Amino acid sequence: MQPPARGAGRSLSDKLLLLVVAVCVAVAVVRLLLVIATVPYAFYVDARSGGKTSGGEPIEVAMRIKNSTPFATWWGERKIPFRAGGDYLKVMSHSSAKRTLGCVAGVVLRDQQRYGLDIRTVITPLDEAALFGTVAGTPMTRADGTAYVAEWAPIGYGAAFFTDVPFVQTPYRPVLTPAAAARLDNRLKLRRIERDIYVPASGAGAGTTYVVVAVQRGADRDFLIVPVELVREDVGL
């Protein structure tokens, strides 16, 4: 039997490769174990110290976990998965922003129609800055160097995926009288409202035209869309 060739052991590059792989695997496992070991404790301490919502809103739970250093260094700046139960509007509430208003409006409209409501038209303000609260017009640059200004997509663009009901942009000054606001507060039964709510200054008919009402809740800009039937002008909402 021939003796094995000289240098039949691993080459330096092979040994280094095994070392690199072993280190990567070890680091991955240790980081995960650190997260498992510390995150539940971080959550417990925060809940014990009087966190406002023990067992509360998923977004706040995620924020507490995100503040845990081992988790933050492991997970990076990624969003944290949340439990939304296959409910589009619930999912949307985690991503809600001005530009999602159209899709939410479309879904709510579709659902209202399923309940038998006869919706023919939806009115939204022509002045989208008035609806969104800020002016669009972020200067942007294309890859070829040409400049353009980003605008808000009309609400109807997002809504059109879900419904055929036309969204008509009409120039009107968004006004909500104190009395109408109080009635709306009572109707929506929200605990805390910070809102920009817009209704036509003059009625466009009753029964078949709905006004999309955007309610901004809290600093996170959750939009709750409430189709409100337009009634007589003197009654308002």
Q: Which residues bind other proteins (CB under 8 A)?
A: 1-4, 8-11, 13-14, 16-18, 20-21, 23-25, 27-29, 32, 73-88, 91-92, 94-95, 97, 99-100, 103, 106, 142-143, 158, 160-162, 164
Q: How far is the CB of 167 from other proteins (least distance, A)?
A: 14
The first and second tokens of residue 41, run together, are 């404790």
Identity of the residue, 149 or 192, whose beta carbon is nearer to other proteins in the bound complex: 149
Query: Whole-number minimum distance, CB 180 to other proteins, in Å?
Result: 31
Closest distance of CB 5 from other proteins, Å: 9
Count the neighbouring beta carbons within 10 Å of the beta carbon of residue 60. Answer: 14
Give whichever of 143 and 219 is closer to other proteins, judged by the CB atom.
143
Pairwise CA distance, residues 213 & 190, whole Å:
14
86 burial via Cβ count (<10 Å: 0-12, 13-18, 19+) = exposed
CB of 117 to other proteins, least distance (A): 18
Q: What token pair was written down for 178?
A: 């104190």
CB 131 within 8 A of CB 174: yes
Q: Which two tokens stand for residue 96?
A: 């809600």
| CA atoms of 146 and 166, how far apart (whole Å) | 33
Provide, rounded to whole angstroms, the least separation between the CB of residue 79 and other proteins: 5
Q: How far is the CB of 222 from other proteins (least distance, A)?
A: 13
Taking each helix axis as running N to C, give the angle between helix 101-114 and helix 88-95, from 0 to 180 degrees, rounded to the nearest 10: 160
| Residue number, 132 or 172, with CB nearest to other proteins | 132
Q: Which is nearer to other proteins, 60 or 229 (CB)?
A: 60
For Cα atoms 154, 84, 123, give the angle at the middle one, nearest 5 degrees: 25
Nearer residue to other proteins within complex by CB, 138 or 186: 138
The smaller minimum CB distance to other proteins, of residues 4 and 116, is found at: 4
Dig out the tokens for 122 from the structure.
Answer: 């939806």
